[in-house]
Each structure stands twice: as structure tokens, then as C-alpha cells.
Amino acid sequence: MADPAFLACDWGTTNLRAWLVGGDGEVLASRDFELGVSRLGPGEAEARFANEVRPALNAQALPAILCGMIGSNLGWRQVNYLPCPASLDDLRKALTSVADGVRIVPGLRCDGVAGAPDVMRGEETQVFGWLKQDERRMHGRHVLCHPGTHAKWILIDDGKIVRFITAMTGELFAVLRKHSVLKSDASADDEAAFDAGLEAAEDGDALAARLFTARSRVTAGGAAAESTPSYLSGLLIGAEVASVPKLLGVSLDHPIVLLGDEVLCRWYERALSRLGVSATAYDGEAAALAALTALQMEGAPK
């Protein structure tokens, strides 16, 4: 077994995932910590990383590479966004040192919709890790969807992220489910209700009007109130997959790569399948580690 070489961390809003990586690139140990940046007070990140994360993996003296929201104004230090098009090598050149032996991966920005910029922080690392996992992916065009609180639709050409668009689908679902007339504590795993939501989404237009059907189908249509979260999920995801790719200039006959949480990717795959779109899901966590390993081992300071 190789000796420990570095610590890799995907440090997001709600959770921190850390891997102890050996000199041969193999994972020697891993841990999850409930230390998402939303749980940190101002200036806490450096101390908690040193006092909790490093000792838990016996990595006190190792170099560390971090990605995700830890590089935002809520985290350790705000790290710049790089403009698109951007490659893995561009990320490597812009790694930001925040402490002795600790570097943070920058985010990306591009032209978004309605003349406003769009930004991502963390998803870019998973995207480049997915590309790195199979060098054949470094050639040609790929359309990638990263489902989540703020879902990203990403256009990749010859190994570079060219443009992306963010859809606040996950956050909108959470807000409506908790703070609107659609609020419900029921689970969102009813496939029939989800499919009904997909049907109601149609081509994704007039979403504000379509959303009211989540209430009227119960109050006047006899649908079970417990089915509302699943219906709402289908309606929101259905509207997203039907409309957002067009904003990237991508037709719905292009295969879609789904990258992220397995369960969430499965719902998106179901929505895309209904539209006749081919989609393949990949593990986002493994992709993040692949990119962090490449950034550290191929671009370690000399």
C-alpha cells in the first residue's frame, strides 16, 4: 500500500467529503463531516479543517486540495471565477493557496440568460473529473446535466466547458414544499404522481400557471394530497429538461450525461426518457475525486 500523499476534499454547502489519497492515486481512507459552509461561522473554516478534518484522517502534515463552496464568500476565502471556455489545465493554473499546503479550486463564470452572468462552484470539478475518467471524452461535444439544488446544464467541447446555465429547480421545490400552499411533509417517491407532473410540464413554458395544478388537482380533482410532492417534483424537473437545453442551443435529440447523486439522476433520467432523450448517469463523487487527484498529482508545486 502506498504512503499517504495528500488530502482531497469536496466541501459544499451542507457537507464535507474528504479522501486520504496515496502516492499511487488510490484512496486509503475517507470520511464525511457535517461541516458544510452553511454551518460555519465567519473565519471558522481554517481552524475546523486543522482541528477536526485533518486529525480524523491522520493527515495533519499532508498537502490538501479543496473544491466547492469552501471557495465562496461563505467559506474559507473567496476564490475567483474563471471565464469560460475553461479547461482542467486552466483550473490547475488558477489554484489558490489559502494556507500552508492548502489550495482551493476556482469556480467558473460565463454569459447566462437575459444578459446576466452565470456561475458555478464545485460542479466544474466533477465535470473535469468525468472527462478525466475516460480520455476519449476529451474529444467532441458533450451535454452534461448536474442535478441538484441549483441544477447545471453544461456544454463541453473538446475538453473545455464552453457555457452553462443554472436552473434553481431543487431550491424552488424545497421552498414550495415548505413555505407555500403546496407545503407537505409527504415523501416524493410516488412514480405515478411524478409521471403526472411530467405530463403537466409539457414544453416547460408558463411554469407559474402550471404550478397551480399541483393544488387544484387535489382540491377539485380528487388527487391524494400525499401525492403533491411527487407531482411537484415531476412538474419542475419536467419543465427544466424540456426547456433549459434549448437555452444552450442544444436540441433534445442530443444524448445527455447525468452527473451527481444517484437517486436524483434517476428521476432526471426518467424525465428525459419520457421525451425520448438518451441519458446515462455517472457518480459525481467519484468524478470529483478524479479531478482533485489529477489537479494535485499532475500539478503539485515543484
Residue 232, domain CATH? 3.30.420.310
Q: Specify if 207 maps to a domain.
A: yes
Query: Which regions in the chain score pLDDT beneath 50?
Result: 300-302
Q: Specify if 272 maps to a domain.
A: yes
pLDDT of residue 68: 97
Q: Specify if 15 maps to a domain.
A: no
Q: Specify if 129 maps to a domain.
A: yes
Q: What is the pTM of this model?
A: 0.94
Q: Specify if 204 maps to a domain.
A: yes
Q: Specify if 246 maps to a domain.
A: yes
Question: Beta-strand (E) ranges in 34-122?
Answer: 64-67, 81-83, 96-99, 102-104, 107-111, 117-120
**CB–CB of 80/106 below 8 Å?**
yes
Q: How many CB atoms lie within 10 A of CB 186?
A: 15
Q: Specify if 199 maps to a domain.
A: yes
Q: Number of structural domains, the chain?
A: 1
- Cα(216)–Cα(223) distance, integer angstroms: 9
- Pair type for strands 102-104 and 64-67: parallel
- Cα(168)–Cα(236) distance, integer angstroms: 10
Range 219-254 burial, b when 16+ CB lie within 10 A, else e: eeeebeeebbbbbbbbbbbbbbbbbbbeebeeeeee
Nearest residue to 11 via CA among 41, 39, 51: 39
pLDDT of residue 298: 84
| C-alpha cell, 138 | 476529451
Domain that holds residue 209: 106-287
Q: What does the CA dihedral 64, 69, 70, 71 come to, rounded to 10 degrees?
A: 90
Q: Specify if 151 maps to a domain.
A: yes
pLDDT of residue 299: 55
